[in-house]
Structure 1
Amino acid sequence: MTAAGETTGTSAVSDFDVETAVTPRAGQSGVFDAELSERWRIGNGVNGGVLLALAARAMRDAFLAGDPATTHADPLAISAYYLTPAEPGALAAHVEPIRTGRSVSTATVSLRQSGEGGDVERLRAIATFGDLGAVHDEVTTTATPPELPPVEECLSMDQAPPQFLRAASLLERLDLRLDPATAGWAAGRPSGKGEMRGWLRLADGREPDVLMLLLAIDALPPTAFELGLPGWTPTLELSAHVRSRPAAGWLRIVITTRTNSGGFVEEDAEVWDSEGRLVALSRQLARVTPPRR
């Protein structure tokens, strides 16, 4: 059974759905179990977008458990703090509903894994859910879709530096094509402009939905690479707004940064669907770490 706002493009179960699946824990209301694998690793931990989607799925399922008829299945706004890197293995999502209203509902979630001395909190988030199917189509915006070369003229990730591919297993799950104008870092010639642009879809053919948008906002290489800063940039805080359920097909993504100060960089992302609609936005704060020698 597929929840409101969720679609799948193939009959087989997608890796993304497997990685973000949650199961209610018997006898413990609001607690969901999950299993993280090596397949979505980036650097020292599991990709932050995958964790965000898993957190949203757990909150959505908590709302559905409380009221199976609820239409509040779409994360409209979610803000997450990444406390420690999540590792492959068992993970528990502890959900606390805060308010259930007519048009929106709000909850918090804590993602935890067993570690030395007991549970280690990986992520804490608060989110507001609603029904994007009930949102009217009228849009007023000054935003415009990023201009990208055709998909076939963009660079696939198998052309990325070998050391980058070895540290990012999630790239095997993604069909990501970068605009060559924002991929100078891969050849040791960063532009210095702090911008990444590219096309994205899942490699297994699964079509995008609102949960995949939470992965999309954190799927491109860090903008710090184009600033000539090749170290990893772990996310500290990320806030996302989902504006519409995406149409099937490629997603178009642009991520920009304006300030690198004191070892911290902000990144602003826009995700546009195949019909030219702005379907998600985000801002995150990340820490720039120097590469290991």
Structure 2
Amino acid sequence: MSAPAQEVTRRPFSESTVVADAGDGRFTAEIGERFAVGDKAHGGLLMVLLAKAALGRLAAGTGTALDPVAISTEFLRAPGLGPVEMSTEVLKLGRTASVAAVRMTQGDKLMLTATVTAGRLPTDAPRWSDLPDIAAEPPAEALDRSANRLAPAAGLAASTEVRYDGETIPFVRGEQGPPIIRGWTRPIGEEPDVLYALLAGDILPPTLFNLGDPGWAPTVQLTALLRAHPAPGWLRLESRSASVRGTWFDEDVTVVDSAGRLVCQARQIALAPLPRP
């Protein structure tokens, strides 16, 4: 049985990523329809929940709140809507970097595992960067995901603001093009934080849609690096595949904030789109 429908509220992202401390290194969360893809949880949301559980455990060990620096996640199964539990283990407490392992279960099944590295994100200007050339804000002609129903689930489309560079999504016109998609996103009712930047690393449609392969493209492994706290405003996104071979394809996503700073890099290996059951 799926979880009851949830109304979209003023701050859907923050209210959908609440993690409760259950003691003994365990944390609980509720996956609702706001960040769902069909009847399954959105992968970016799951990574946020894993990161928050790990950060909570590390904060208890260090006595201070830390920033997420990296999260490496194995997607073993796709959780459905409803409650999940996360068990955590401290692997290292350090002055510069601390590390925790997280296991997410639903019922009696292991769903995801992750290793989270935490520390302090830099606040100084980069000495060098090479980032995609994307406008700081979406132009008037950018496509609105919710208005154009490009998202596979109304809940996710209604819970975030996402705009697409129309030239990079030929699949919506029944055409094909290179597996590169660009766009913009920001949360509703609040400014983006580092955890929303993590979500943004998995918010664009699969790049293989541009090759004429629509359908469900399950992530197998995703590693994200967080590089800075985002400035207020839109986050700029570019996702691209370097190689598509057999049933496997990769995606590299670059997330840049409104100030032109790199805030997240996400790389995943996934399966070519499968027919949705």
* TM-score, normalised relative to structure 1: 0.86
Give the drift of 1:259.
Answer: 1.3
Q: How many residues align structurally?
A: 269
Contact preservation (8 Å) 2:138, 2:163: no
Q: Which amino acid aligns with 2:165?
A: D
Residue 3 of structure 2 is matched in structure 1 by none
Output the CA distance in 1 between the equivalents of 2:235 and 2:217.
Answer: 23
The 5-angstrom pairing of residues 219-238 of structure 1 reads: 219-238=203-222
Contact preservation (8 Å) 1:32, 1:58: yes
Give the drift of 1:166.
Answer: 5.5
1:148–1:258 distance in 2 versus 1, CA, 3 Å: farther
Contact preservation (8 Å) 1:145, 1:276: no
Query: What SS does the aligned partner of 1:267 have?
Result: strand
The 5-angstrom pairing of residues 211-222 of structure 1 reads: 211-222=195-206
Is residue 158 from structure 1 mapped to residue 146 from structure 2 by the alignment?
A: yes
Contact preservation (8 Å) 1:160, 1:186: no
Give the drift of 1:230.
Answer: 0.6
Residue 6 of structure 2 is matched in structure 1 by none
**Counterpart pick for 2:41 among 8, 23, 46:** 46
**Counterpart pick for 1:180 among 150, 157, 166:** 166
Contact preservation (8 Å) 1:148, 1:197: no
The 5-angstrom pairing of residues 135-174 of structure 1 reads: 135-146=123-134, 150-161=138-149, 165=151, 167-174=153-160
Q: Which amino acid aligns with 1:74?
A: D
1:138–1:201 distance in 2 versus 1, CA, 3 Å: closer
What 5-or-longer segments of structure 1 have no aligned partner?
1-11
Query: What SS does the aligned partner of 2:104 have?
Result: strand
Residue 9 of structure 1 is matched in structure 2 by none
Query: What SS does the aligned partner of 2:198 have?
Result: helix
Deviation string, structure 1 residues 171-198 (Cα, Å, up to 9, x no partner): 111111100101211121122x001100
RMSD of the alignment, in Å?
2.0
Contact preservation (8 Å) 2:132, 2:238: no
Q: Share of identical aligned residues, percent?
A: 37
Residue 200 of structure 1 is matched in structure 2 by 185
Output the CA distance in 2 between the equivalents of 1:79 and 1:211.
Answer: 14
**Counterpart pick for 1:189 among 150, 153, 175:** 175
The 5-angstrom pairing of residues 1-293 of structure 1 reads: 14-25=11-22, 28-68=23-63, 70-71=64-65, 73-114=66-107, 119-133=108-122, 135-146=123-134, 150-161=138-149, 165=151, 167-191=153-177, 193-202=178-187, 204-291=188-275
Query: What SS does the aligned partner of 1:132 have?
Result: coil
Give the drift of 1:67.
Answer: 3.4
What 5-or-longer segments of structure 2 have no aligned partner?
1-8
Deviation string, structure 1 residues 129-179 (Cα, Å, up to 9, x no partner): 01115x543422233433588432200013435xx5464521111111100
